[in-house]
Amino acid sequence: MIIDCHQHLPSLEKTRTLEKSKEELLEELRRSRVDYAILIPDNTPKSEIGSLDEVLQLVKGNRQLYVMGTLDIQKRNYLEQTQKLDQLFQAGSIVAIKIFPGHDTIYPTDKRLLPAYELCIKHDLPIVIHTGASLKHPEQAKYNDPKFIIKIADKFPALKIVIAHYFYPRVECCYKLTKAYKNIYFDTSGLADEEVIANTGLAKIKKVLLLTTSERPNNIIFGTDYAMCSIRKHVELIESLEMERQTKDKIFSENAIKLFHLKL
């Protein structure tokens, strides 16, 4: 079974309507043999990949698709947004909260995020943090540096934190900084992307994934960053790792089922 824990709808620029974006995504799930996916909406109302409200509406009644909550703490109504996420957690409509330091000029240690962290603890569901930076925008890494994330992990040992993209290209630095933390998880999204591999090095990516799995086998979940990245290439990356089938099954689905309490 494959659960892709990090997907976005194909861009409206191409598909014109969100309904078409959903159809294209479902078709891709079939082609790539992905059984379930967790969709990450944007945290702004007008977006090419859909807002939280739009994506929630779109997945209604679909048993393959789950949703993460998102919020923008730079908006004055961030507390109202947080309260809404509490209701969505209670209703079982979202399985995590995602934040975007780097895309947004905020740090994971920002006080305005504390209510969201407390919500995640209350519902025993993870906070997912965008990390890393492309060559085009190296300045983004200053906001999502794992040195801030471990401060949160220390302060809230009951908070489950998912580091998305392993802070590429500095994956080794991220591995070393977070090594001691049982409450820090990783998704594999973006790591099979051509540009990410060119800037990071495939050997380094494989090395940190192997080290992380051998030390914390329950803490890596499969993610792709579809529709920006290829699902197939990410499946191939995991399949290329020298590890037992059992461990791959954990990465592909079992860890995610536990972490997000998925009732499949």
Interface positions with Zn ion (CB under 5 A) = 225
9 vs 247, which CB is nearer to Zn ion?
Answer: 9
Q: How far is the CB of 165 from Zn ion (least distance, A)?
A: 8
Rounded-to-integer distance, Cα 127 and Cα 124, Å: 10
Distance of CA 263 to the CA centre of its chain: 19
DSSP H/E element including 187? strand 184-187
Tally the residues of the chain: 264
Shortest CB 225 distance to Zn ion, Å: 4
CB of 223 to Zn ion, least distance (A): 8
- Which residue's CB is nearer to Zn ion, number 42 or number 225? 225
For the CB of residue 190, give the shortest distance to Zn ion in the complex, in Å. 7
What span, in angstroms and rounded, lies between the C-alpha atoms of 220 and 151?
Answer: 20
Which amino acid is located at 126 in the chain?
Answer: P
Q: Which of residues 22 and 98 has its CB atom nearest to Zn ion in the complex?
A: 98
H helix runs in 111-260, sequence order: 114-123, 146-155, 171-178, 194-200, 202-215, 231-239, 245-249, 255-259
Task: Return the number of the residue (104 or 225) whose C-beta is nearest Zn ion.
Answer: 225
Which tokens belong to 209?
């994934």
Q: Are 243 and 213 in contact (CB under 8 A)?
A: yes
CA dist., res. 215 & res. 227, Å (int): 31
From the CB of 246, what's the least distance to Zn ion, in Å?
28
Q: Are 172 and 201 in contact (CB under 8 A)?
A: no
Q: How far is the CB of 193 from Zn ion (least distance, A)?
A: 11
Cβ nearer to Zn ion, comparing 247 with 251: 251
- Identity of the residue, 197 or 247, whose beta carbon is nearer to Zn ion in the bound complex: 197
